[in-house]
Amino acid sequence: MRLVALVSLSILVALPAAGQQADPPRISLVAEYTLVGWIIPPRYPGFPAAAEVGPLVHVGNRHGVGWTLLLDVTHSDPFVGTGPRYRRWLGGRFALDAGASVPLTDFDWMEVVTQVGVSYADIVGLTTRVGLGGLDGFNLGLGARVGRGPGLAAGALTAMALVIGRVVLGIQWWGATGEM
């Protein structure tokens, strides 16, 4: 009986008071650029960078959920992916981020990229990236990332370089084996 009373009281406290409107959810933009040093395998062909951008909906004071678009050039073949994102604010200006992405392009690679990291004020952070699937089956990398304006600018410059290289200059990206 005490358990039922406690649960009922908790629900009542969590609901807004009668006549009050709940605050609309806050939405922010996740824009990050990550440089990765691969540990497994130790030497991965390709430029070790990835850019992510997407909305993040703040759920309460400590949580955020969202969806990001990923431009991954950490492997020998650049690919675009998408996936969910979760952020937990740890207090002060620190946050814990977790996300996963699957490719929308380069299905031969078919790798799930997951990452977990800690950031300060969404400006700088440290991250761990794990790739499952693909040609190697498993890869692990440690990296640093920048967010907000610098992250968005670096991601946009990388995307423009890929498009200009491919469309304007006719550069063919090397294959998934790392051969040119």
Query: For 12, phi and psi rounded to 5 degrees?
Result: -65, -40
Question: Tens digit of pLDDT per residue, the chain (180 long)?
Answer: 443 343 343 433 444 444 444 566 789 998 999 988 888 876 566 567 889 999 999 998 899 999 999 988 876 667 788 999 999 999 889 999 999 998 887 666 677 888 999 999 889 999 998 888 876 678 888 999 999 889 999 989 988 888 887 777 776 654 433 333
Say how many domains are in the chain: 1
Residue 13 lies in a domain: no
What domain range is 137 assigned to? 21-168
Q: Which residues contact 65 (CB under 8 A, 6 or more apart)?
A: 56, 57, 59, 84, 85, 86, 87
CATH of the domain at 154: 2.40.160
Confirm whether 90 is domain-assigned.
yes
